[in-house]
Amino acid sequence: GIIATPGDDDNLISNPHGISIHLDGNGLEAAKQSGLPWFIKYYAPWCGHCQRLAPSWEQMAKDLKRQVNVGEVNCDDHRDACVNNGVHGFPTLKL
């Protein structure tokens, strides 16, 4: 997947590529401070509900192209970012 810092080169258009961006802690903070709308999925790779949500999440990102930024945080890899954002179960979705 793609790990990016939101706003690198497409900071004036929401979700210009129609994809869900894999965010780390720094990317998540940049997304929150960007002033653009973000829909974030917090998940764990081993979570069955998360695995079943994944295809719908990817399709939603395509459907929201140029409307709303879509991102996701792997809470196994970025536990602090998830704890700091009040994530207690998986998946957690926040707008």
pLDDT at 65: 97
- Within a domain: 15: no
- Within a domain: 51: yes
Q: What is the CA radius of gyration of the chain?
A: 12
Which CATH number do you get for residue 60?
3.40.30.10
pLDDT at 2: 45
Question: Looking at per-residue confidence, does 17 or 7 come out higher?
Answer: 17
- Within a domain: 33: yes
- Within a domain: 28: yes
Q: Is the peptide bond before 55 cis (omega within 30 degrees of 0)?
A: no
Residue 11's pLDDT band (cuts 50, 70, 90): low
pLDDT (tens digit, 9 = 90+) per residue, 20-55?
A: 999 999 999 999 999 999 999 999 999 999 999 999
- Within a domain: 62: yes
Global pTM reads: 0.87
Look at the chain and report how many structural domains it folds into.
1
- Within a domain: 61: yes
pLDDT at 10: 53
- Within a domain: 14: no
| Alpha-carbon span 51 to 31, nearest angstrom | 24
Q: Which residues span the domain enclosing 58?
A: 20-94
pLDDT at 13: 82
Which residues have C-beta within 8 Å of that of residue 5, sequence separation ≥ 6?
26, 27, 30
- Within a domain: 3: no
